[in-house]
Structure 1
Amino acid sequence: MKIRNKITTSLVVGMFGLSSYAFSADMNKWIDEFQPSSLTKAQQKDELTWFQNAAKPYKGMTIKVVSESLTTHAYESKTLAKAFYDITGIKVIHDVIGEGDVIEKLQTQMQTGQNIYDAYVNDSDLIGTHWRYKQVRNLTDWMKGDGKSVTNPNLDLKDFIGLSFTTAPDGKLYQLPDQQFANLYWFRYDWFTDPKNMADFKAKYGYDLGVPVNWSAYEDIAEFFTGRVIDGKKVYGHMDYGKKDPSLGWRFTDAWLSMAGEGDPGLPNGLPVDEWGIRVNKKSQPVGSCMDRGGATNSPAAVYSIEKYNKWLKDYAPPSAAGMVFSEAGPVPAQGEVAQQAFWYTAFTADMVKKGLPVVNADGTPKWRMAPSPHGAYWKKGMKVGYQDVGSWTLMKSTPVKRAQAAWLYAQFVTSKTVDVKKSQVGLTFIRKSTIFDKSFTKRAPKLGGLIEFYRSPAKTQWTPTGTNVPDYPKLAQLWWQNIGDASSGAKTAQEALDSLCLAQEKILSRIERSGVQGDMGPKLNKKRTAEYWLEQPGAPKPKLANEKPTPVTISYDELIKSWK
């Protein structure tokens, strides 16, 4: 039944135990917008009515929130903020800016106490920062205290797939995931299954062309395709980027060293040594980054990871790649001249499935697939295999309580079951199990190149964000692009660049230790020993392997997908 343009009253007993509520035409319009949904329309009405009622004390307020520039956040800013206003009367200015700018604003608010934004969507990479500095509200206590009256009874935290990434060693939840995307392996399925390519590869290398399980196979495949002519075009076996720019830092802090095998086993992050090469003690205090303090940032495995990066960029990627930044390199595989990419973000999926692209079939299915990332020679079972970005809602303590309460309502609204399936259909950045297993994604899966199969598989737990070993993400992250940029440009060898990086990290760790601002959770640097001492101990740092190119291993993509099911 169509509802007229006036407020009507309906008697409904729903999931929130409401006996009656005012239901407006605006709400009906938005329920139509939020299709498909994991909820029925009646359940959506119940949930939206809870938001309407909970927001009454804040009606007429204007709040400001911020997130980085992703398709998901654009949908929130342009569509969900409008819906929230229509339903609750709370106006939301949702700024969408660069990731680095988000971090800068967050740092400024931390340092000055000035309330710049009422809530931030910032990466869970800052979990170690937030836990130690205690400048954000831990949501576990918030939902029992000042945030209790504005916490959605249908929030269903168990439905979120990324809470382990936003929970600190104290067991408290510090951030609520808003969007997630993994760093996976991307390849041209049509080229890999072409009979001539398969026969030529087998004749040259002696094993089957398939999804590379390790870097040895990835390198062979890169060599095989580079210079090969397919459909009248010269193609390349690899894609990456190398310009000395802040985005080059993400290229490596986003688990490249871990993919090589530089750290220790442990999920979500290696312990005691993580993918940044930072070692912590049993109290989770950072104790070193360089090998002479037990760290692994400048270890043989880390050096190997940078040398492979440099070699592949130089030998197998398009010549222009070395001068590109992240945003410039991202669209290149969709142009149809790249065979594979070891370091590829699933956030690009929506832009890789558009009709008319050289990598999309006439029926809308992709010519490419995504698969688990290959791992390096130092990698051992039980280690993380790659990175997963988890942009998460964060409430600063410097935000006045009433403004934080209104912002918390908005944060829950844009992650609610009412809107999440539709939001995920737009941005393809999944946070809820109920969304991943929604029938609408079962139907769409064949056009998404393995994205749904990956997120429905148990394998996804091996892709994790930066963990709690990193005590100050903003300060430490900026060191990476500057130092590794020297290795990328040829100004320094990989060893020299990583020696400089680990020393720079320890300088900041030492400064935090001396300041005492992080208390018993802050760094407590080990006394220096020799690197040889630590290389003789179990785990990371690991001694140099005599053979850094072990036997190549590949697997059939179709067999891989069967194993996930």
Structure 2
Amino acid sequence: MATAPAYAGIEEGKAFLDSEIGDLSALSRADQEAELQWFVDAAKPYEGMEIKVVSETIATHEYESKVLAPAFTALTGIKVTHDLIGEGDVVEKLQTQMQSGENIYDAYINDSDLIGTHWRYKQARNLTEWMAGDGKAVTNPGLDLADFIGTKFTTGPDGKLYQLPDQQFANLYWFRQDWFSDEKTKADFKAKYGYDLGVPVNWSAYEDIAEFFTGRDMSYIGGPAKVYGHMDYGKKDPSLGWRFTDAWLSMAGAGDKGEPNGLPVDEWGIRVNEKSQPVGSCVARGGDTNGPAAVYSIEKYIDWLTKYAPPAAAGMVFSEAGPVPAQGEVAQQMFWYTAFTADMVKDGLPVVNEDGTPKWRMAPSPHGAYWEEGMKVGYQDAGSWTLMESTPVDRAQAAWLYAQFVTSKTVDVKKSHVGLTFIRESSIQHPSFTERAPKLGGLVEFYRSPARVAWSPTGTNVPDYPKLAQLWWQNIGDASSGAKTPQEAMDSLCAEQEKVLARLERAGVQGDLGPKLNEEMDAQYWFDQPGAPKPKLENEREEPKTVAYDDLIASWK
């Protein structure tokens, strides 16, 4: 007698829709069932297969691992182990698979920051060709790539898609709206600085607001007797690298104009030629990693951390610093990730009202003195599904089914409510988010606004993200600790980046897409050319400018 399958197929799928999804989907119930039936049918050749996938540990991926993976297994008979590890560990595993050719994982959710790496090394499957070839039979006809808001970030200069976005979050400005809208606070600020307290448009205004709140007694409106005007972190640790590679230099005004990234010089200060080959990082080769705008960005970071942040901040890593604003003693934070939103709206926090609405809001980050209209003004993380060429075809096909399931229209609205990391326009526009928006502090408004396109991940100028990214925290850590001046630290960083670029050039491992370094020239030669690198400004303090939060939101509509 034949044994029954270990899964229940579409009946299990219907139960999952009843218990987990309900009306939190961009699809009607009939269309949800039809999409799940497609997964059941497409998965038949892989029934009983066990696959392993991996991602970093954030709420969105915890939901996938604990809820969506078992649901997919019950629906299809493909047993998925979805491992959750640190972001640095994901990159390390990926790097090991690239170097050894051993199939460690059948699919990775890794940052689209690696797009330049994947496009050049050709070790990640080109998904455009995959969906037309080996992956055709297992590509969901309802995938709807046009509905994904981040595919520009995962597309190479060749126009081909290399990764499928799974979660996205932006780096924005966070502030205490209750304090900023208090009449006494506003009057005191205007009396001291001569302009209105509001969302800072530039770094000069941010600095004034940081100075104003640091040490201020806010007990007259129920706040602490001493508050801080800024929050950051400074420990020499790998997470310090993200603090800067995540577009800090371009927020200051380093690099060139362009969307989604500056071209020819990007937010890391790396210049490429017309063939997209990296040609330099230091100013002497036309790069901007150690240019005046980049050095100014490090000077301001250290100055504000020292003067306006809680004393413990300098010894904190990213994960330790993240929860601090929710404790109620911080007035504003320029470099704040929307991935923290879910943790900032929990009942009972000092930054949440009794009705569940937040006392804080998020807004676009202000930009530095070297910034010009048309430049990148913030970072957006886009953790994205990546299939390696070293993964056997059948295992990649099964993993591709799972990747599409956890990003499908059937589940994405519910997943977005859990993790608040939007990837689909249809989810952002879902009526349930219109209803929930007042409790999310501006997140929905930001993602529904045209402003969001100026926020993007690391672009295609970076030819080997794992090798280059690790140079940042060590060098900037030297500036943060006082071991080097900001100029010395950035000179060292750009020189070390160029050593890696030169090694890649000599090795020829990336073919005619790899680096081809420029000859060194006098810095003035480059300063005289249009665009980046720009010469040092005589005055790096602009006239401070703020905008009322309500006016900002209205401008988005």
Match of 2:267 in 1: 275
CA distance in 1, matches of 2:413, 2:325: 27
What are the superposed Cα offsets for residues 145-181 of structure 1, whole Å, 9 maximum, x if unpaired? 0000000000000000000000000000000000000
Match of 1:505 in 2: 497
Match of 1:518 in 2: 510
Listed as ranges, the matches of 1:124-143 within 5 Å are 124-143=112-131
Please tell me whether the aligned partners of residues 9 and 74 of structure 2 are also in contact (alpha carbons under 8 angstroms).
Answer: no
Listed as ranges, the matches of 1:392-411 within 5 Å are 392-411=384-403
CA deviation after TM superposition for structure 1 residue 31, in Å = 4.2
Match of 1:41 in 2: 29
CA distance in 1, matches of 2:278, 2:524: 20
For normalisation by structure 2, the TM-score amounts to 0.97
CA deviation after TM superposition for structure 1 residue 524, in Å = 0.2
Please tell me whether the aligned partners of residues 54 and 109 of structure 2 are also in contact (alpha carbons under 8 angstroms).
Answer: yes
CA distance in 2, matches of 1:166, 1:31: 34
Match of 2:69 in 1: 81
Please tell me whether the aligned partners of residues 27 and 87 of structure 1 are also in contact (alpha carbons under 8 angstroms).
Answer: no
Match of 2:187 in 1: 199
Please tell me whether the aligned partners of residues 165 and 268 of structure 1 are also in contact (alpha carbons under 8 angstroms).
Answer: yes
Amino acid at match of 1:28: A
CA distance in 2, matches of 1:543, 1:22: 64
CA deviation after TM superposition for structure 1 residue 419, in Å = 0.3
CA distance in 1, matches of 2:434, 2:509: 49
1:59 corresponds to 2:51: no
CA distance in 1, matches of 2:296, 2:514: 30
Spell out structure 1 runs of 4+ moving beyond 6 A. none
CA distance in 2, matches of 1:561, 1:79: 35
What are the superposed Cα offsets for residues 253-307 of structure 1, whole Å, 9 maximum, x if unpaired? 0000000001100011001100000000000000000010000000000000000
Match of 1:363 in 2: 355
What are the superposed Cα offsets for residues 341-394 of structure 1, whole Å, 9 maximum, x if unpaired? 000000000000000000000000000000001000000000010000000000
CA distance in 2, matches of 1:196, 1:217: 19
Amino acid at match of 2:355: D
Please tell me whether the aligned partners of residues 241 and 329 of structure 1 are also in contact (alpha carbons under 8 angstroms).
Answer: yes
Please tell me whether the aligned partners of residues 9 and 75 of structure 2 are also in contact (alpha carbons under 8 angstroms).
Answer: no
Match of 2:326 in 1: 334
Listed as ranges, the matches of 1:281-300 within 5 Å are 281-300=273-292
CA distance in 1, matches of 2:9, 2:197: 61
1:385 corresponds to 2:408: no
Listed as ranges, the matches of 1:109-120 within 5 Å are 109-120=97-108
CA distance in 2, matches of 1:427, 1:31: 20
CA distance in 2, matches of 1:29, 1:482: 47
Listed as ranges, the matches of 1:524-535 within 5 Å are 524-535=516-527
1:29 corresponds to 2:5: no
Please tell me whether the aligned partners of residues 244 and 482 of structure 1 are also in contact (alpha carbons under 8 angstroms).
Answer: yes
Please tell me whether the aligned partners of residues 118 and 407 of structure 1 are also in contact (alpha carbons under 8 angstroms).
Answer: yes
CA distance in 2, matches of 1:79, 1:286: 42
Please tell me whether the aligned partners of residues 292 and 535 of structure 2 are also in contact (alpha carbons under 8 angstroms).
Answer: yes
1:216 corresponds to 2:208: no
In structure 2, runs of 5+ residues without a counterpart are none
1:540 corresponds to 2:528: no
Match of 1:474 in 2: 466
Match of 1:150 in 2: 138
Match of 2:296 in 1: 304
Amino acid at match of 1:541: P
3-state SS of the aligned residue for 2:500? helix
3-state SS of the aligned residue for 1:24? helix
Amino acid at match of 1:458: P
3-state SS of the aligned residue for 2:456? coil
For normalisation by structure 1, the TM-score amounts to 0.96
What are the superposed Cα offsets for residues 230-259 of structure 1, whole Å, 9 maximum, x if unpaired? 124200000000000000000000000000
CA distance in 2, matches of 1:516, 1:211: 48
Moved more, 30-39 or 423-432: 30-39
CA deviation after TM superposition for structure 1 residue 41, in Å = 1.1
CA distance in 1, matches of 2:518, 2:372: 26
1:105 corresponds to 2:97: no
Task: Please tell me the root mean square deviation across aligned C-alpha atoms, in Å.
Answer: 1.1
What are the superposed Cα offsets for residues 98-126 of structure 1, whole Å, 9 maximum, x if unpaired? 00000000000000000000000000000
CA distance in 1, matches of 2:9, 2:42: 13
| Count of matched residue positions in the alignment of Structure 1 and Structure 2 | 547
What are the superposed Cα offsets for residues 416-464 of structure 1, whole Å, 9 maximum, x if unpaired? 0000000000000000000000000000000000000000000000000
Please tell me whether the aligned partners of residues 202 and 208 of structure 1 are also in contact (alpha carbons under 8 angstroms).
Answer: yes
3-state SS of the aligned residue for 2:343? helix
Aligned partner (choices 441, 448, 460) of residue 449 of structure 1: 441
3-state SS of the aligned residue for 2:378? coil
Match of 1:16 in 2: none
Amino acid at match of 1:386: G
3-state SS of the aligned residue for 2:82? strand
Please tell me whether the aligned partners of residues 167 and 173 of structure 1 are also in contact (alpha carbons under 8 angstroms).
Answer: yes
Match of 1:235 in 2: 227
CA distance in 1, matches of 2:331, 2:31: 46
CA distance in 2, matches of 1:421, 1:189: 28
